[in-house]
Amino acid sequence: MRAFSHLAVPVANADDAVATVDALGPHLRHVDRITLVHVIEKGGGVVDKAPMAKRRADAEAFLAVAAARIDGTVPTGTRIAFGTDVAETIVKTAIDVGATAVAFHPRGGSRLLRLLTGDTATRLVSDPDLPIVSLPPTDDGTGPDPSPAGRREVDS
Amino acid sequence: MSDEELAKDLGLVSALTIGIGTMVGAGIFVLPGVAASTAGPVVVVSFVVGGLIALVNALSVSELGTAMPKAGGGYYYVNRALGPLFGSIAGLGDWIGLAFASAFYSIGFGQYLATLVPLPEVLFLSEVQVGALVAGAVFVGVNYVGAKETGGVQTVIVTLLLGILTLFAVQGWLSFDLATLLGEGGAAPFGYGAILPGTALVFVSFLGYAKIATVAEELKNPGRNLPLAIVGSVVIVTVLYAVLVSIMLGVVPWPELSQSAPLTQATQVAFPGGFAGLAVTVVTLGALLATASSANASILASARINFAMGRDRIVSNWLNEIHPSYATPYRSILVTGAVIVVFIAALGRDIEVLAKAASVLHLVVYALMNVALVVFRETDPEYDPAFRVPLYPLTPALGFVLSLGLLAFVGQTELLLSGVFVLVAVVWYVVYARRQTTRRGLLGQYVLERGDDLPPSVVNAAATVAPDGSGRDDTPTTMVALSNPRTERALVTLGAALADHDGGRLLATHVIQVPDQTSLEAAAEQRDRISRTSAGLLEDARADAERLGVPVETRTVLSHQGLAEVFDFARDHEVDRLVMGNGGTRLAGGRVEGRLDELTHDLPCDVLVLDDGAFDPSEVLVPTAGGHSSDLSAEVARALHETVGARIAVLHVADDVDEGEAFLSEWAADHDLADAELIVETGDVEAAIGAAAESRTLVLVGATERGLLSRVVRGSLRLSVLDELDSNVLLAERPRKRTLRERLFA
Taking only the tens place, the pLDDT of each residue in B22-56 is 888 777 888 888 888 888 888 899 999 999 999 99
Contact A100, A6 (CB under 8 A): yes
pLDDT for B151 equals: 59
Q: What is the 3-state secondary structure (H, E, C) of chain A?
A: CCCCCEEEEECCCHHHHHHHHHHHHHHHHHCCEEEEEEEEECCCCCCCCCCHHHHHHHHHHHHHHHHHHHCCCCCEEEEEEEECCHHHHHHHHHHHCCCCEEEECCCCCCHHHHHHHCCHHHHHHCCCCCCEEECCCCCCCCCCCCCHHHHHHCCC
A146 cis-preceded (ω within 30 degrees of 0): no
A41 Cα to chain B: minimum distance (Å): 9
Q: CA triplet B469, B472, B473: central angle to 5 degrees?
A: 115
- Chain A residues with CB-CB distance to B9 below 8 A: 42-45, 82
DSSP state of B205: G
Q: B150 and A45: CB-CB below 8 Å?
A: yes
pLDDT for B547 equals: 77
A19 Cα to chain B: minimum distance (Å): 14
- What are the C-alpha distances in Å from B194 to residues B39, B44, B184, B254, B258? 5, 11, 17, 14, 19
How many angstroms separate the CA atoms of B591 and B558, rounded?
Answer: 17
- By CA distance, what is A155's nearest residue in B? B555
Residue B740, burial from CB neighbour count under 10 angstroms (0-12, 13-18, 19+): middle
Q: Which amino acid belongs to residue B416?
A: L
pLDDT for A2 equals: 63
Predicted confidence (pLDDT) per residue in B439-496, tens digit: 777 877 777 777 677 777 777 777 777 776 554 446 778 888 887 777 777 888 888 8
Confidence of residue B533 (pLDDT cuts 50, 70, 90): low
Closest to B154 measured CA to CA, from A47, A40, A85 = A47
Selecting from B322, B531, B553 the residue whose C-beta is nearest the C-beta of A54 gives: B322
How many angstroms separate the CA atoms of B736 and B706, rounded?
Answer: 8
Phi, psi (degrees; rounded to nearest 5) at B323: -65, 130
Contact B29, B108 (CB under 8 A): yes
The verdict on residue A153 lying in a domain is no
Predicted confidence (pLDDT) per residue in B591-618, tens digit: 333 344 445 556 778 888 887 667 788 8
Interface of B with A in 246-275 (CB under 8 A): none
Q: A156 and B18: CB-CB below 8 Å?
A: no
How many angstroms separate the CA atoms of B128 and B697, rounded?
Answer: 81
Q: Coil, strand, or helix at residue B732? A: strand
Predicted confidence (pLDDT) per residue in A42-89, tens digit: 877 777 778 888 888 788 778 877 877 777 778 888 888 888 888 888
Q: A149 and B71: CB-CB below 8 Å?
A: no
Question: What's the mean per-residue pLDDT of chain B?
Answer: 80
In the predicted model, is pLDDT for residue B252 greater than 70? yes
Confidence of residue A143 (pLDDT cuts 50, 70, 90): very low
Contact A6, A98 (CB under 8 A): yes
The strands making up A6-10's β-sheet, listed across from edge to edge, are A76-83, A33-41, A6-10, A101-104, A132-134
Q: CB of B535 within 8 Å of any CB in chain A?
A: yes
Is the torsion defined by CA of B460, B461, B462, B464 positive or negative?
positive
The verdict on residue A95 lying in a domain is yes
- What are the C-alpha distances in Å from A147 to residues A21, A153, B122, B126, B596? 13, 12, 56, 59, 32
Q: Which amino acid belongs to residue B36?
A: A
In the predicted model, is pLDDT for residue B520 greater than 80? no
The verdict on residue A47 lying in a domain is yes
Domain count for chain A, please give it. Answer: 1
Nearby residues of B139 by Cβ (< 8 Å), 6 or more positions away: B102, B106, B292, B295, B296, B299, B337
Confidence of residue A116 (pLDDT cuts 50, 70, 90): low
- Give me the mean pLDDT over the B311-338 stretch: 86
- Give me the mean pLDDT over the B692-718 stretch: 62
In the predicted model, is pLDDT for residue B369 greater than 90? yes
Q: B558 and A47: CB-CB below 8 Å?
A: no
Is the torsion defined by CA of B494, B500, B504, B506 positive or negative?
positive
Closest to B596 measured CA to CA, from B556, B575, B567 = B567
The verdict on residue A136 lying in a domain is yes
pTM for the structure as a whole = 0.69
Confidence of residue A146 (pLDDT cuts 50, 70, 90): very low
Q: CB of B575 within 8 Å of any CB in chain A?
A: no
**Pairing assessment for the beta strands B577-581 and B606-610 based on DSSP bridges:** parallel
* Among B280-289, B362-371, B495-504, the range of highest mean pLDDT: B362-371
Q: A67 and B153: CB-CB below 8 Å?
A: no
The verdict on residue A118 lying in a domain is yes
- Give me the mean pLDDT over the B116-128 stretch: 83
Q: Coil, strand, or helix at residue B257? A: coil
Closest to B599 measured CA to CA, from B702, B712, B504 = B712
**Pairing assessment for the beta strands B728-733 and B698-702 based on DSSP bridges:** parallel
More confident residue, A121 or B638: B638
The verdict on residue A154 lying in a domain is no
Q: CB of B284 within 8 Å of any CB in chain A?
A: no
pLDDT for B312 equals: 82
* Domains in chain B, CATH or no CATH each: 10-430 (1.20.1740.10), 432-471 (no CATH), 473-573 (3.40.50.620), 616-746 (3.40.50.620)
Q: A71 and B530: CB-CB below 8 Å?
A: yes
- Give me the mean pLDDT over the B556-569 stretch: 68
Contact B10, B215 (CB under 8 A): yes
Q: CA triplet B503, B473, B626: central angle to 5 degrees?
A: 65
CATH of the domain at A121: 3.40.50.620
Q: Which domain holds residue A35?
A: 6-144
* Total count of residues recorded for chain B: 746
Q: Coil, strand, or helix at residue B436? A: helix
Selecting from A12, A64, A76 the residue whose C-beta is nearest the C-beta of B515 gives: A76
Closest to B239 measured CA to CA, from B102, B44, B77 = B44
Predicted confidence (pLDDT) per residue in B571-584, tens digit: 777 788 888 876 65
Within B560-670, strands assigned E span 577-581, 606-610, 619-623, 647-654
Q: A81 and B512: CB-CB below 8 Å?
A: no
Q: Which amino acid belongs to residue B147?
A: A
pLDDT for B356 equals: 92
**Pairing assessment for the beta strands A132-134 and B552-559 based on DSSP bridges:** unpaired
In the predicted model, is pLDDT for residue A141 greater than 70? no
Closest to B316 measured CA to CA, from B144, B140, B437, B482 = B437
Identify from A48, A147, A155, A156 which residue to disrupt to test chain B contact, counting B C-beta atoms within 10 A and taking the largest count.
Answer: A48
Nearby residues of B306 by Cβ (< 8 Å), 6 or more positions away: B95, B315, B319, B320, B329, B332, B335, B336
Question: What's the mean per-residue pLDDT of chain A?
Answer: 76
How many angstroms separate the CA atoms of B120 and B122, rounded?
Answer: 6
Q: Which amino acid belongs to residue B724?
A: E
The verdict on residue A152 lying in a domain is no
Selecting from B9, B529, B556 the residue whose C-beta is nearest the C-beta of A42 gives: B9
More confident residue, B230 or A130: B230
Q: Coil, strand, or helix at residue B620? A: strand
Confidence of residue B345 (pLDDT cuts 50, 70, 90): very high
Q: B215 and A47: CB-CB below 8 Å?
A: yes
Confidence of residue B308 (pLDDT cuts 50, 70, 90): confident
Please report, in angstroms and rounded to a whole number, the separation of the first and last CA atoms in chain B. Answer: 51
Specify the range with the lowest mean pLDDT, choosing from B201-210, B242-251, B706-715.
B706-715
Q: B145 and A156: CB-CB below 8 Å?
A: no
